[in-house]
A and B are shown apart, each in its own frame.
Chain A
Amino acid sequence: MKDETKTKIVKVSGALVHEKNVTDEVLNKIKALEAGGNIFFPQNYSPENALKSAWLKLQDDPKALKCTKGSIANALLDMVVQGLTPAKNQCYFITYGAELKLSRSYMGTVAVTKRLKGIQDVFANVIYADDTFQYKINLENGLKEIVKHDQDFKNIDNNKIVGAYCVIVREGKQNYVEIMNIPQIKAAWGQGAMKGDSPAHKKFPEEMAKKSVINRACKLFFNTSDDSDVLIDAINRATEAEYTTVEDAQISAQNEVEENANSVEIDFDDKPQNDGLTDKEKAAIEAKELEEANAQIEAGF
């Protein structure tokens, strides 16, 4: 009995040390980014609390805990940089083999989009069959404009959803509008793991339709935004994790095969060509060395 308690204490303190190491590492990186003016947090966002809540979530997932320390730290860093917290269901963690990745829920997508420079609000509406809906395309800038959307309360019927739209309200610029009809929405659902067949899709198709159009609008927005700060990088990494479809997975695997496969000859006696690195890895190292050398020259060495 005594021994059991002892083991338990040792185990718990081991987990705490691990937690402290990983979360400290993330907090230190965050402080460095903050000091450099590269990052700002929404009001009332506490990185410490978000990390605590993320760590508690990870405790319930043995697969996640087995991921590499580096990938856990990066996923947590992506979460904090985006100002997200799992406690508000804004994000969750997915394991890909030994890699932990952060994925955003659509609540999280709305929250981070609102934090981009010049964005005031993000909202979405569902269009029902009996609604009056009209839009036009502004030929000056190619943006869509909603001219009319009249909806009677009686029109609301989950069996009669014909589309959905998302409006991103911008400061001093025309609103950005994304519209999808129901076949497009269902095609987007079909890309997900449940192919649009989850209980959520069946019970709350209106919410899932809004989610699809919000994701599409915001995704386009991140990619076309000229804001190149660390926030965008973190947003895009989490978007990637969420949007990996079967086709994406196949294409990215095949790209890697084409770049790296059967490229380095090895044998017992000799050192491998390029020290066992592929041409791409070698080029990356050379580029980095050149960059460092240039930085030293600039610094006056």
Chain B
Amino acid sequence: MNLDLQILGSSSKGNCYLLNTPGETLILECGISYKEIQKDLSFDLKKVLGCIVSHSHSDHSKGIKDLTKRSIDVYSSAGTFTTLGIKSHRAIPVEPLKSFDVGGFRILPFDIQHDAIEPLGYLIEHASFGRLLFVTDTFYLKYKFRRLNYVMIECNYSEEIVNRRYENNEINVSVLKRLFNSHFSLENVKEFFRANDLSKLKGIYLMHLSDGNSDSALFKDEIEKLTGVITNVC
């Protein structure tokens, strides 16, 4: 079965995705307000089993408090909850490389490389769609994976575009220095695909494209050419 993914937001303004299966929904990131999430769910929260959050930056975590108040379990690293000052029995700390289950979802968190405290990526398995890798806000991935069916990966900027804008003084120097050490470039995303087992891959979702430093048509084209797999830009 194909992946049923609803994209509520995928940029530095706010990230949130609904991963739907026939009977269960998992929220990936809650970087938009609870009200917006509710609207997109048509106010039907019965199917929602929980929410996983990658890190503490507000474009990924804004809605955590509201979700926990509405009795939805939120899973992230202890560092994320401490940084945000969230104390709730619904805020469930998870550790890298220790898998856990949320309903029919089996989830393996792993550490990623971003300038936040204890950021995480997730490998998610469900009988309905197989294996999905969800990884955002990291400048590379230490890990590689077997038998991936779907990949949701950040593809924030292209080195070529960024270097050109730097030459033309169109980009703030401190923003740029941070970018290299915190976000995935098209070039490094390609390296990721070259290193991984793509034999079972059915779909790719490129996320979190930067407003000024990306080109969605080009990114889609380049990744499709490299992998031979249908690529969507979120």
* Interface residue ranges, A against B (CB under 8 Å): 66, 68, 96-98, 193, 195, 244-246, 249-250, 252-254, 256-257, 260-268, 272, 276, 278
Q: Known A98-B116, A246-B166; judge A265-B146 contact (CB<8 A).
A: yes
Whether the Cβ atoms of B141 and A193 lie closer than 8 Å is no
- Measured CA separation A98–B169 after assembly (Å): 27
B144 contacts chain A at the CB level, 8 A cutoff: yes
CB-CB under 8 A from A278, the residues of chain B are: 142
| Closest B residue by C-beta to A257 | B140
- Measured CA separation A35–B93 after assembly (Å): 43
CB-CB under 8 A from A96, the residues of chain B are: 115, 178, 181
CB-CB under 8 A from A244, the residues of chain B are: 177
- Measured CA separation A253–B114 after assembly (Å): 11
B195 contacts chain A at the CB level, 8 A cutoff: yes
B217 contacts chain A at the CB level, 8 A cutoff: no
CB-CB under 8 A from B114, the residues of chain A are: 97
Tell me which of A98, A249, A265 contacts B144 (CB under 8 A): A265
30 intermolecular pairs with C-beta atoms under 8 Å apart: A98-B115, A193-B173, A195-B169, A195-B173, A244-B177, A246-B176, A249-B177, A249-B180, A250-B180, A252-B181, A256-B113, A256-B139, A260-B140, A260-B142, A261-B140, A261-B142, A261-B188, A262-B140, A262-B143, A262-B192, A262-B196, A265-B143, A265-B145, A265-B146, A266-B145, A267-B108, A268-B99, A268-B123, A272-B143, A276-B96
Shortest CB–CB separation between residue B104 and chain A, in angstroms? 14
CB-CB under 8 A from A66, the residues of chain B are: 83
Q: How large is the interface on B (under 10, 10 to 19, 20 to 34, 35 or more residues)?
A: 35 or more
- Measured CA separation A268–B119 after assembly (Å): 19
Q: Known A97-B116, A268-B99; judge A246-B177 contact (CB<8 A).
A: yes
CB-CB under 8 A from A193, the residues of chain B are: 173-174
- Measured CA separation A260–B116 after assembly (Å): 19
CB-CB under 8 A from B140, the residues of chain A are: 256-257, 260-262
B117 contacts chain A at the CB level, 8 A cutoff: yes
Tell me which of A97, A252, A264 contacts B115 (CB under 8 A): A97
Shortest CB–CB separation between residue A138 and chain B, in angstroms? 39
- Measured CA separation A262–B96 after assembly (Å): 16
| Closest B residue by C-beta to A194 | B173
| Closest A residue by C-beta to B142 | A260
- Measured CA separation A193–B173 after assembly (Å): 6
Q: Which of B54-101 contact A (CB under 8 A)?
A: 83, 96-97, 99
Q: Which of B188-211 contact A (CB under 8 A)?
A: 188, 191-192, 195-196
